[in-house]
Amino acid sequence: MLPKTAEYALRATVWLGRTSDRPQSADQLAKAIRVPRRYLHKVLQDLAKAGLVRSQSGPGGGYSLDRSAGDITILDVVNAVGPIERIEACPLGLKSHTSLCPLHRELDRAYASVQQAFSRITVADILNAPGDIPALVDIAAKP
């Protein structure tokens, strides 16, 4: 349901939240989250433009979160790279549809539900979620 760009942005943001003690180079980040380096560059630019990520050049530089992981929602990340578009008028342009038809009304309700759900979940929530499988980390099989 989410575009690949949003998935990549979420991976990058969660990984940067996980490694908040040190900036990550684009190469490190691309390898860790399995995103093509060239594609990641565009994603990081969008995240920086939205004020979610900052870059620091020079030795010891790289990318890091520009805000606390607890202050960044999944919706913030998705909106930074490609907002969830709501349906406000008939997509077919039918002039007789002065309000949404049943199909488009239900689709818009679904989009609204997704927006609402994503606005409640922060990067910190993802990182602190209970369970045996941490986000984005390949865990070794136990002996």
pTM value is: 0.86
Tell me the per-residue pLDDT of 42-101, one tens digit each, with 9 for 90 and over: 999 999 999 999 998 877 789 999 999 999 999 999 999 998 888 988 888 888 888 889
Residue identified by tokens 């870059």 is: 55
- Domain boundaries in the chain? 4-127
Question: What count of residues does the chain have?
Answer: 143
What is the DSSP code string of the chain? ---HHHHHHHHHHHHHHHTTTS-B-HHHHHHHHT--HHHHHHHHHHHHHTTSEEEE-STT-EEEESS-GGG-BHHHHHHHHSPPPP--S-TT--TT-SS--HHHHHHHHHHHHHHHHHHH-BHHHHHT--SSS-TT--PPPP-
Query: What CATH code would you report for 4-127?
Result: 1.10.10.10
Tell me the per-residue pLDDT of 99-120, one tens digit each, with 9 for 90 and over: 889 999 999 999 999 999 999 9
Q: What local confidence, expressed as pLDDT, does residue 58 receive? A: 79
